Chain A
Amino acid sequence: MRVALFLTCVNDTLFPETGKATVRLLRRLGHDVEFPAGQTCCGQMHLNTGYRRQAVPLVTAFEETFAPYDAIVTPSASCAAMIRDWHPRLAPSSAGTAASAGRRVHELSEFLVDVLGVTDVGAYFPHRVTYHPTCHSLRTLRVGDRPLRLLGEVRGIDLRELPDADECCGFGGTFALKNSEVSAAMCADKVTAVRGTGAETLCAADNSCLAHIGGALTRTRAGVRTLHLAEILASTEQAPA
């Protein structure tokens, strides 16, 4: 099986540690992963902001770049949802065929649980953690409890339940800018919920939402750090996250 990592433009630019953790984790589980250098962006920002026409060439390029791979793993539920739901509509030439990336893309927790069939990835992370299921992982991809099953097997972890976990954090891409007051109000409530858990670490399957909540956590000096799911799962006693 030839596996490609689609890191996403946001992770590539701002959160390289998530990419490194994903590579380390998959290698530890015995799977090599390639990073196709032609990759850039899935087109989600343009599509969701109304620039559908600008999204189309990004989608076409994506489909070409990832055509040779059997599986595409991405540490972003939001981008996985974009590829699965929207790529077939925006690049109809590949829609519905086995070649469509939408059929080969897996969000990281889906890839681990469904494709590799593992929930215990041999991780060690002796900290209090709460998990925020991002909207696209919860309601678009429907990853269900996969991330929690993976986290549940991490040695040393103290997993705290997040109240009103299914509430949106208020990120929503350019929504955070266009409706910044409403977005900030949603974020403030999420921060309150996170702080109430007593967790030291907030974990999610999307760095964009984490950056949003994390930005408010550091601004309010909440003493809670944010870590992508991949980084906790890659963490070991020898190489802690």
Chain B
Amino acid sequence: MTGRAAREDGPGRGAMPTYLGTPSFPDAARRAVSDARLRGNLAHATTTIRARRAEAVAELDDWAELREAGRQIKDHVLEHLGHYLRLLEEKVTGAGGTVHWARDAAEADRIVADLVKATGETEVVKVKSMATQEIGLNEFLAEEGITAYETDLAELIVQLGDDRPSHLLVPAVHRNRADIRDIFLRAMEDVPAGLTDSPAELAEAARRHLRAKFLSAKVAVSGVNFAVADTGTLVVVESEGNGRMCLTLPETLISVMGIEKIVPSRRDLEVFLQLLPRSSTAERMNPYTSMWTGVHPGDGPRNFHLVLLDNGRTATLADDVGRQALRCIRCSACLNVCPVYRRAGGHAYGSPYPGPIGAILSPQMRGVGSEVDASLPFASSLCGACYEVCPVAIDIPEVLVRLRARVVEDGPRRPLERVAMAAAGWTLRSPTRLALAQRAASSARRVVARGGRIRRLPGPLGAWTETRDAPAPPSESFRAWWARTGGREEDGG
């Protein structure tokens, strides 16, 4: 279709065009950690939502069973993805929609731009969508002379602030109310005079700013939360009503979805409509959920296009362990509980998918060749808080460990680390060699330690002693003590 499409026999890797050249995670995180204001905003927002999520989840006695069903439904779809994609295509087409397929970001961008151009319009309204973030659609449309207006409040804040999203659900979570007021005053041409930082006033300003756009827009672009294969029904879950506006008022609707967003049957929505709102905004139900099937005569858009996006998903599918990342329903619970995300912020992840889920999605979709992608699997202490809250039971630590091995094998070379790990492995493979190393450490303790602590370690280990003392080796290892006494303390313990 287009010259920019992926190689025919390529692995199906994806690209996220607006994130090229992002620095590695530790480099980006270093800046965020020293930004007290950013850390304050993140800590405030995530602490609030964590407690509320826990309450919303505790309200349902069968949360574990819902989670298990969610996991199995998604796994089933991934197991039979070709079948369900064909079925979805047939049903959407039968209901009056048009289905397009895109191998990668460039192809999806081109399809959407051409569809917009065919309407003769130069403006589109957009509902918040991770898929269109991923393919850099707004930037591409701008190059093609088409202006995309983000209508979700947080996306609007990001767009007006010429910023990047830092959270799946609340892309402007790194901004507090005062920041948002400043952005509106600076960049919103019809900003109300005397705007304060009260959230209600800020929301009102957004309402007034976008109302005329909604009423006049001829083309809308959306993402998709769920696509029901056996009916062709599409589902968008939202809060503000901007989604309903975009899905209802324009003449043409273009929806972009990752190929993994399918559920087999309408019945499956009973699981996800319980799992998603409670995990995401900690509500029993989000304010608005819209469902539509193709084109409904006399109600809503007259033209409906669905773009099915691969962009690295089939490559992700190929890994037995890593493919579980495709179960993700983009709730963002893992971000809100992640201690690393909370300190590093979302931008450090160099992708529209931040936090723990981003750390396993981006390196799989894009490969581990770049500095940022090779660093993401290590951007975790493996504390497991993400796995615990995930509504579809993605074992994120397990996938991180899997991807770390892939980085060591296929990623940028780290010769020093490789030598150190080989040496450690060689020592630990033999109890005799370990005992010798322990003896050497014990005799060095007088040189390096004071009061049982080491204040400065050499080389890469120096990162530890920047802020922490290191424990000094004891005068005798346990192994040596045991050999000497047989474990009897009265013999000299």
Asked if chains A and B are in direct contact (CB within 8 A), the reply is yes
A230 at the interface (CB under 8 A from B): no
In the bound complex, do residue A37 and residue B387 qualify as a contact, i.e. CB atoms below 8 Å apart? no
Residues on the B chain within 8 Å of A35, using CB: 478-479, 482, 487
Which listed segment binds A: B26-34, B91-99, B224-232?
B26-34
Residue of B with least CB distance to A170 = B381
In the bound complex, do residue B468 and residue A24 qualify as a contact, i.e. CB atoms below 8 Å apart? no
B5 at the interface (CB under 8 A from A): no
Task: Find A23's partner among B380, B463, B469, B487 (CB 8 Å cutoff).
Answer: B487
- Least CB distance from A171 to B in Å reads 7
Residue of A with least CB distance to B466 = A180
Q: Point out which of B405, B434, B471, B478 has the most chain A C-beta atoms below 10 A from its C-beta.
A: B478
Asked if A212 meets B468 with Cβ closer than 8 Å, knowing A20-B489, A40-B429, A178-B26, the reply is yes
A187 at the interface (CB under 8 A from B): yes
Residues on the A chain within 8 Å of B21, using CB: none
Residues on the A chain within 8 Å of B388, using CB: 139
In the bound complex, do residue A58 and residue B381 qualify as a contact, i.e. CB atoms below 8 Å apart? no
State the CA gap A140–B382 with chains docked (Å). 10
Which size class do A's interface residues fall under? 35 or more
A45 at the interface (CB under 8 A from B): yes
A31 at the interface (CB under 8 A from B): no
In the bound complex, do residue B381 and residue A12 qualify as a contact, i.e. CB atoms below 8 Å apart? no
Task: Find B404's partner among A33, A50, A135 (CB 8 Å cutoff).
Answer: A50
In the bound complex, do residue A218 and residue B466 qualify as a contact, i.e. CB atoms below 8 Å apart? no
Residues on the B chain within 8 Å of A116, using CB: none
B383 at the interface (CB under 8 A from A): yes
B483 at the interface (CB under 8 A from A): yes
Interface size on B, residues (CB 8 A): 67
In the bound complex, do residue A49 and residue B404 qualify as a contact, i.e. CB atoms below 8 Å apart? yes
State the CA gap A58–B453 with chains docked (Å). 29
Residues on the A chain within 8 Å of B483, using CB: 37
Contacts of B421-455 to chain A: CB distance below 8 A? 421-422, 424-425, 428-431, 434, 437-438, 441, 453, 455
Residues on the B chain within 8 Å of A33, using CB: 487
State the CA gap A48–B377 with chains docked (Å). 10
Residue of B with least CB distance to A42 = B428
- Least CB distance from A207 to B in Å reads 8
B344 at the interface (CB under 8 A from A): yes
B178 at the interface (CB under 8 A from A): no
In the bound complex, do residue A50 and residue B339 qualify as a contact, i.e. CB atoms below 8 Å apart? no
In the bound complex, do residue A218 and residue B453 qualify as a contact, i.e. CB atoms below 8 Å apart? yes
Residues on the A chain within 8 Å of B473, using CB: 13-14
A19 at the interface (CB under 8 A from B): yes
In the bound complex, do residue B428 and residue A172 qualify as a contact, i.e. CB atoms below 8 Å apart? no
State the CA gap A61–B427 with chains docked (Å). 13
Q: Mark B367-384, 1 if CB is under 8 A from A, else 0.
A: 000000001011111111
State the CA gap A180–B464 with chains docked (Å). 7
- Least CB distance from B463 to A in Å reads 4
A186 at the interface (CB under 8 A from B): yes
State the CA gap A176–B425 with chains docked (Å). 20
In the bound complex, do residue A168 and residue B468 qualify as a contact, i.e. CB atoms below 8 Å apart? no
Task: Find B479's partner among A12, A51, A54, A170 (CB 8 Å cutoff).
Answer: A12
B477 at the interface (CB under 8 A from A): yes
Residue of B with least CB distance to A177 = B463
State the CA gap A46–B425 with chains docked (Å). 8
In the bound complex, do residue A140 and residue B384 qualify as a contact, i.e. CB atoms below 8 Å apart? yes
- Least CB distance from B72 to A in Å reads 21
State the CA gap A167–B47 with chains docked (Å). 12
In the bound complex, do residue B421 and residue A179 qualify as a contact, i.e. CB atoms below 8 Å apart? no
State the CA gap A215–B487 with chains docked (Å). 29
In the bound complex, do residue B339 and residue A186 qualify as a contact, i.e. CB atoms below 8 Å apart? yes
Contacts of B383-403 to chain A: CB distance below 8 A? 383-385, 387-388, 401
- Least CB distance from A59 to B in Å reads 11
B317 at the interface (CB under 8 A from A): no
Task: Find A175's partner among B380, B466, B481 (CB 8 Å cutoff).
Answer: B380
A130 at the interface (CB under 8 A from B): no
B297 at the interface (CB under 8 A from A): no
B460 at the interface (CB under 8 A from A): yes
Residue of B with least CB distance to A226 = B471
In the bound complex, do residue A172 and residue B383 qualify as a contact, i.e. CB atoms below 8 Å apart? yes
B2 at the interface (CB under 8 A from A): no
State the CA gap A228–B414 with chains docked (Å). 35
Asked if A14 meets B471 with Cβ closer than 8 Å, knowing A49-B421, A181-B26, the reply is yes
Residue of A with least CB distance to B25 = A179
Task: Find B340's partner among A15, A58, A135, A179 (CB 8 Å cutoff).
Answer: A179
Contacts of B198-251 to chain A: CB distance below 8 A? none
Residue of B with least CB distance to A54 = B425
In the bound complex, do residue A139 and residue B463 qualify as a contact, i.e. CB atoms below 8 Å apart? no
B467 at the interface (CB under 8 A from A): yes
Residues on the A chain within 8 Å of B430, using CB: 40
Residues on the A chain within 8 Å of B417, using CB: 49
Residue of A with least CB distance to B472 = A14
- Least CB distance from A48 to B in Å reads 6
In the bound complex, do residue B477 and residue A13 qualify as a contact, i.e. CB atoms below 8 Å apart? yes
Asked if A7 meets B478 with Cβ closer than 8 Å, knowing A168-B383, A177-B464, A182-B29, the reply is yes
Contacts of A23-70 to chain B: CB distance below 8 A? 23-24, 33, 35, 37-41, 45-52, 54, 57-58, 61
In the bound complex, do residue A13 and residue B441 qualify as a contact, i.e. CB atoms below 8 Å apart? yes
Asked if A13 meets B438 with Cβ closer than 8 Å, knowing A7-B478, A183-B381, the reply is yes
State the CA gap A45–B482 with chains docked (Å). 25
Q: List 19 A-B contacts (CB under 8 A).
A: A9-B428, A13-B437, A13-B477, A14-B474, A16-B478, A24-B489, A41-B434, A50-B401, A57-B429, A135-B383, A139-B385, A168-B381, A175-B381, A178-B378, A179-B340, A180-B26, A182-B29, A184-B468, A219-B468
- In the complex, given contacts A175-B381, A185-B33, what are 10 additional A-B residue pairs having Cβ atoms less than 8 angstroms apart? A20-B478, A47-B401, A50-B408, A57-B425, A135-B381, A135-B384, A172-B381, A180-B463, A181-B26, A186-B381
A contacts, CB < 8 Å to B: 7, 9, 11-17, 19-20, 23-24, 33, 35, 37-41, 45-52, 54, 57-58, 61, 135-136, 138-140, 166-168, 170-188, 211-212, 214-216, 218-219
Chain A to chain B: the 8 pairs with minimum beta-carbon distance, closest first = A172-B381, A215-B468, A50-B404, A168-B383, A50-B408, A16-B478, A180-B463, A139-B384
